[in-house]
Amino acid sequence: MSPDLQRLIDLQRLESTIADAKAKIATHPQRLAEADAQLAAASRLLESAKNRLKDNQEARRALDKDIALYQGRLSKFRDQQSAVKTNKEYQALGHEIETAQKDLGGVEEKVIERMVEADAIAADVKQAESAFAARRKEIEAQKKQMSDELASVEASLTSATEARVALLKQLDQRLVSTFEQVARVRKGIAVTTATRDGLCSVCHVRLRPQVFQQIRQNDSIVQCDSCQRILYYVPPPPPAEGAIVR
């Protein structure tokens, strides 16, 4: 293998590592925001169940006030009734008492409805709380994993960047220019392999036989006629010991 070709292969590997690392780092804030949004959605579900319970309790307090009001009215009528002088007055108060009792009964029915509702809502709250706790645990684990990944990608970016600087010092400036020129117009891929059947592995053009023959030597810098990428050849692995060679 020509040392320059080996360096260009290494440069390509480093450039690809750097590009992948940068792309991954760029997506991190978005992924973090998505995880936070999921947690916020889970928290809103819990909040809504808690709010329903609060509404129920407020309604219940209003009904309790009504009960106190009707009970006060009833006892006032009963006091008055025991003090009246005429039968007519007595009967009139009797009607008032009957009406107040009916009103009281209506409110008491509503209290029972609210109590039944409160039991169902309390069960919903409990379920929402455990669902939220589970979701939070899951999302926190996700975020922890994301931050571990970020740290490892940042570390690989740093080491690839340093290795690239060192490698560039060892490379002929003319080769670096060729590499950069091709990388710029070929989505960052300036070095690739020729396939075993003689194609450029990226643009798939068939290489001329003498060009392919030259690439197979791996001892010079040869570019694809079509896409200009620098090509090298990876020979097939030798057959494993004991394997039947046909």
* Residues within the interface to Zn ion (CB under 5 A): 200, 203, 224, 226-227
Closest CB to Zn ion among residues 141, 185:
185
Look at residues 104, 96, 101 and name the one whose alpha carbon lies nearest to residue 77.
96
Closest CB to Zn ion among residues 17, 192:
192
Instruction: Write phi, then psi, for 197 (nearest 5 degrees).
Output: -95, 20
**Rounded to the nearest whole angstrom, what is the least distance from the CB of residue 224 to Zn ion in the complex?**
3
**Rounded to the nearest whole angstrom, what is the least distance from the CB of residue 183 to Zn ion in the complex?**
14
* Residue 2 three-state SS: coil
Strands 230-233 and 222-223 come out as: antiparallel
Q: Alpha-carbon distance 184 to 181, whole Å?
A: 5
Closest CB to Zn ion among residues 49, 211:
211
Asked if 137 and 29 count as a contact pair (C-beta separation under 8 A), the reply is: no
**Rounded to the nearest whole angstrom, what is the least distance from the CB of residue 213 to Zn ion in the complex?**
17
**Rounded to the nearest whole angstrom, what is the least distance from the CB of residue 184 to Zn ion in the complex?**
16
**Rounded to the nearest whole angstrom, what is the least distance from the CB of residue 229 to Zn ion in the complex?**
5
Closest CB to Zn ion among residues 145, 213:
213
Closest CB to Zn ion among residues 25, 199:
199
* Residue 200 three-state SS: strand
Q: Which long-range contacts (CB under 8 A, 24 or more apart) does 166-170 make?
A: 167/7, 167/10, 167/11, 167/14, 168/11, 170/7
